[in-house]
Amino acid sequence: MKYIYLLMYVLLFLFAPTIFATESLMPDKKPPLPKAASEALANSISTFPQFTKEQVKESTPRTSEEWRNYVHSRNAEQKKKIKKMKKELNVDVELIKLNGVVTRKLTPKVITPEFSDKVYIDIHGGAFVLFGGLPSIEEGLLVAERLGIVVYSVDYRMPPTFPFPAALNDVVTVYNDLLQQFGEGNIFVGGTSAGGGLVLSLVQSILANETALPIAVYAGTPWADLSKTSDSLYVNEEIDNVLVTYDGFLQSAAELYAGKKALTDPAVSPLYGTFKAFPPTLLVTGTRDMFLSDTVRVSRAIRDSGGMAQIDIFEGLSHAEYLIFYKTPESETTYRTMKTFFLSHIY
């Protein structure tokens, strides 16, 4: 966030006349706070920094060096949050390698009996560029503590240094390693945003290779189409507090990740791949989420292929806020739902 603030000052100084002139012509697109969301969510929304799409576009890094600085700055900020969460939650964190891939094993103090021989593979989000290192365990910590399950958070390689297929290869490697260790019928996989997209790509890769499937998967507001196709990218632009706009940061991150692949290649955008024979899939999104459409399209693709997808949507919730605002009832409900969903699919 620090990086964005710094840029904001510079931008405000440079572009103030343009920005204010434009704003005076534009009606206020922002709706009032969602009255039917929880009070905690409404409060979190009102105190979260608000950026315009122009600000997001202008603050997007342009060179590899700018990207590295940007990522470093955002990750440093995020690390503070994770250290605070680590103190609050009763989870032990152990840095390990699985077949060469950096992974963190998260062990909660209390394990749910039904999960005693099960593990959860956590694939972090961050637009395929952010939250490497310690920040990768943000959602893993919540899953470990709230579900009572051992979690392996994959610290996969990312652009600008490692574009596609490095991240997916790392995730597949960890899956295969843990499958060998724990055996069929003992693995859950999940992730949010870019992590949710990688979960879907992992399942498609497992199906293509005819490896054993996970028991069930979770894809929270998955970035499943890297091309600017989904309707909510337009409708919820500047309504979604977290993503704000596709132009700029997300568009550039998508291109960095895809590398030489087209953005509509099924390998990078799982929505263009097959959803046949998917395991039971839990999807989570919100009415203000710019990835509402990606999530909805995945739910349709799975159901239309004869599979089982449960979709949980929260009123007034922007992208991944059930994770970002982890003390809201919306967050508690998300992971309680995940626990019930996983328990109901153990065989």
Binding site for a copy of itself (CB under 8 A): 25-27, 29, 31-32, 34-37, 225, 229-232, 234-236, 239, 271, 287-288, 292-293, 296-297, 299-300, 303-304, 311-316, 333, 337
Minimum Å gap between C-beta 162 and a copy of itself is: 29
Peptide bond connecting 165 to the previous residue in cis, omega within 30 degrees of 0: yes
**C-alpha–C-alpha distance, residues 243 and 235, integer Å:** 13
In whole angstroms, the minimum distance from the beta carbon of 284 to a copy of itself comes to: 12
DSSP character at residue 275: -
| Comparison of 22 and 181: residue with beta carbon closer to a copy of itself | 22
Residue among 41 and 168 whose Cβ is closer to a copy of itself: 41
Shorter beta-carbon distance to a copy of itself: residue 103 or 230:
230
CB 107 within 8 A of CB 36: no
Please return the burial class of 110, using the count of CB atoms within 10 Å of its CB with bins 0-12, 13-18 and 19+: exposed
Whichever of 165 and 222 has its CB closer to a copy of itself, that residue is 222
Q: In the bound complex, what is the minimum distance in angstroms from residue 346's beta carbon to a copy of itself?
A: 19
Nearer Cβ to a copy of itself (201/299) = 299
Determine the Cα–Cα distance for residues 32 and 18; give it in Å rounded to an integer.
26
Shortest distance in whole angstroms from residue 170 CB to a copy of itself: 29
DSSP 273: S
Q: Minimum Å distance from CB 217 to a copy of itself?
A: 19
CA dist., res. 266 & res. 172, Å (int): 16
Spatial neighbors of 240 by CB under 8 A, at least 6 apart, are 288, 289, 290, 318, 319
Closest by CA position to 320, among listed 218, 225, 201, 213: 218
Give whichever of 100 and 306 is closer to a copy of itself, judged by the CB atom.
306
What minimum distance in Å lies between the beta carbon of 347 and a copy of itself? Answer: 19
Closest to a copy of itself by CB, 259 or 307: 307
Whichever of 238 and 255 has its CB closer to a copy of itself, that residue is: 238
Distance from C-alpha of 184 to C-alpha of 172, rounded to nearest angstrom: 15
CA 17, 18, 21, 24 dihedral sign is negative
The least CB distance from residue 10 to a copy of itself, in Å, is 26
Closest CA to 125 of 54, 192, 184, 215: 192
CB-based burial, 185-224: b 16+ in 10 Å, e otherwise: ebbbbbbbbbbbbbbbbbbbbbbeeeeebbbbbbbbbbbb
Q: Are 38 and 314 in contact (CB under 8 A)?
A: no
From the CB of 19, what's the least distance to a copy of itself, in Å?
A: 14
